[in-house]
Structure 1
């Protein structure tokens, strides 16, 4: 960042910001991937020891399981006794994304002295620093994923190396790339030339999706707390030791973000499936035999209810609140502009929610459990009007609030 802020003609002497771009970016991708992999390996060995004090298997079995779990967070999926398990533990995926972001910031800062400075960028000079660094960062990250898959996989587990590498590249580009741009100072320069309406729509989309996920998380936690006794009963039926129970609970917590997305699908109306032929929606719940898994205690009882359909009023309200909050930082005094910003933000948030729904589900075992997922297309169809209309209403509400001082002066 030093070279971007230095006056024109000033020589750059801070070598900390001019480290070799190829080496720093590629090594950054390797570090971002390997650091979370090492954490998974360590926790897997600890879990293996807690499960039976090391009486069965060997440490390398724990290391292999930890690697497979890390690969599943990158969408590889595995086979367990011939049954496909493709549900990604989004809690672990979020950890990988957070580490990629932090490492990306460091990489961006280290290479910020490369390329043209701010004045030359303003004159239109082309700058390939961030794209090249992002490409090398992605290559380093994907290389670790490919090597881990080749070492841990076998015909019995069959993790998909192709899917894992593609997901790793996507994570490195979508998370590491913006982090590199921010750390290098380029993002601030690019954002300065964006039109204000574009920034306002983006802010509305982020606020609406963020607040909706918060409300979905609250709904899931409330449902789980209301039936916490059932979750405890599930653990009791497993007849596990204290160490095994701690390991099982820790692994279950990695699926809490998945459950939050499922709850968001439920509040919108289409709901989700927990097995083939099942539906969990406000309009009605149809369930079959459920596996012994504590998070499933949050599921509502089978049948219909008079009050649960009213929960579908929450998404438009949340969208309106998010749009109004976003426009406090990007105010406008025009009614039509406020409605347009909120509506477009709601539509973009709906697309983001549908994307999360596609990532949250998958196969969770044999037979009926091959389908455990939100109804992605229905989520998109319901989310666009619900969040879009909420944004259209929330935008003018924020505009009215901004116009109050002027109206008071005229009065």
Structure 2
């Protein structure tokens, strides 16, 4: 027999109301509160640390392939040395950023654009990684984007100056100040592009730009890429046609399999340079392979050339007749196709009841395509050239301003003609 006092039921109810479990009864599982939206779940890295790690990773991954290629040369000569390959790779890495080297035969400033493209891509990824590490992803903050770009650029410049000091201690001469400033600028620009994409500042800037400007920039970029593709096709065809001469040039080195593989890889590193030169050849200005030399459709004047496989594809003389007309028509056709690609979707999206699309709306972006493509190819042409020592090889590559001017005129005129022809044909079809 049990006795219950009058206040016991009330105490039990109060205990259950307070969250206590009654005896002999299992309660619900305990809930753990989740973090609120926007609340950081982990601490972020300091900007200086994130920028230094990202810049160091970009430098390491773009230097390593160059060091491996140059190590192959040392293996073929029986003098393989890891410190020597590392120092030579560092010199080639600096050269890929446009930092000239002082050698016994004169200045060496012809940058392998394949190394330049690899370093640029890794720097863009460095801007992405640094932005994520400090927690500014999707913030749309121009200030934070600029801070990331500056921090990565400064870190990359310091690494470049340090590498220049190490290279100059036992190899070709190089200015640490110039190396540091050059790599800082390159690093800041490339990392800024990656950071702007990560923070979505690029979307804000693009959305705020006028529609004709965006369409013209897009058309100019497409035209520049198609021109480079045409240049690569022509250069590849020329090298393939002279494949026997290229094989003889490689075999003339007599450096064994490893050395010949190294020569081939060096040639591939300069393949983007040859692509730009070929595009300049199609556009008309051509390029130089030494002082007082020129290679263009109307004139070929060259002297003694270095024994490299890429020179096997050089034209033997000027082109004339039908061949000349076909070569010169390629850039014009690229411009016309660019204008057609721009005008066709605009004309299709305009309802017939609204009347014809205004000429200004149609032709303004087409006119902008020429200057945009001209700037892009002009910069590429300027970056693709440089000295290969002193003497007559002190001038190699195309003229940047001539390529920019020719591209602006040819692509701009072709795009206007293609857009106008597309509008006329569309009206006839309706």
> TM-score range with shorter-chain normalisation?
0.7 to 0.9
Q: Distance in 1 between matches of 2:148 and 2:328?
A: 44
The one-character-per-residue Cα deviations of 1:36-74 (angstroms, maximum 9, x if unpaired) are 22343344334422x13xx33633222111110001001
Q: Is the 8 A contact 1:350 1:383 kept in 2?
A: yes
The CA deviation at 1:21 is 3.1
The one-character-per-residue Cα deviations of 1:123-154 (angstroms, maximum 9, x if unpaired) are xxx74110111100111111111110111114
Q: Is the 8 A contact 2:72 2:259 kept in 1?
A: no
Name stretches of at least 5 consecutive residues in structure 2 with no aligned partner: 1-35, 351-356
Q: Distance in 1 between matches of 2:323 and 2:181?
A: 39
Q: Distance in 2 between matches of 1:323 and 1:361?
A: 30
Partner residue of 1:150? 165
Partner residue of 1:302? 317
Note closer, same or farther for the CA distance 1:303–1:129 as it changes in structure 2 (3 Å cut): closer
Aligned equivalent of 1:180, options 195, 209, 227: 195
Question: 2:263 aligns to what SS in structure 1?
Answer: helix
Q: Is the 8 A contact 1:110 1:184 kept in 2?
A: no
Matching of residue 312 in structure 1 with residue 328 in structure 2? yes
Which is worse superposed, 341-350 or 158-167? 158-167
Partner residue of 2:14? none
Partner residue of 1:350? 374
Note closer, same or farther for the CA distance 1:111–1:327 as it changes in structure 2 (3 Å cut): farther
Partner residue of 1:4? none
Q: Is the 8 A contact 2:251 2:260 kept in 1?
A: no
Name stretches of at least 5 consecutive residues in structure 1 with no aligned partner: 1-8, 119-125
Q: Is the 8 A contact 2:388 2:395 kept in 1?
A: yes
Q: Distance in 2 between matches of 1:157 and 1:262?
A: 27
Matched length: 386
Aligned equivalent of 1:293, options 299, 308, 314: 308
Note closer, same or farther for the CA distance 1:373–1:355 as it changes in structure 2 (3 Å cut): same
4+ residue stretches of structure 1 with deviation over 6 A?
329-332
Matches within 5 A, 1:215-364: 215-303=230-318, 305-310=320-325, 311-326=327-342, 333-364=357-388
Q: Distance in 1 between matches of 2:45 and 2:343?
A: 40
The one-character-per-residue Cα deviations of 1:144-169 (angstroms, maximum 9, x if unpaired) are 11110111114862123344333323
The CA deviation at 1:184 is 2.1
Question: 2:300 aligns to what SS in structure 1?
Answer: strand
TM-score, normalised to structure 1, is 0.86
Partner residue of 1:40? 66
Q: Distance in 1 between matches of 2:183 and 2:358?
A: 43
Q: Distance in 2 between matches of 1:113 and 1:149?
A: 33
The CA deviation at 1:191 is 2.3
Note closer, same or farther for the CA distance 1:63–1:133 as it changes in structure 2 (3 Å cut): same
Partner residue of 1:63? 86
Question: 2:306 aligns to what SS in structure 1?
Answer: coil
The CA deviation at 1:399 is 5.0
RMSD, matched Cα: 2.6
TM-score, normalised to structure 2, is 0.82
Matches within 5 A, 1:374-385: 374-385=398-409
Matching of residue 92 in structure 1 with residue 107 in structure 2? no
The CA deviation at 1:328 is 5.8
The CA deviation at 1:308 is 4.3
Q: Is the 8 A contact 1:75 1:163 kept in 2?
A: no
Q: Distance in 1 between matches of 2:423 and 2:46?
A: 49
Question: 1:97 aligns to what SS in structure 2?
Answer: helix
Q: Distance in 2 between matches of 1:163 and 1:393?
A: 45
The one-character-per-residue Cα deviations of 1:215-239 (angstroms, maximum 9, x if unpaired) are 1111111111111111112122223
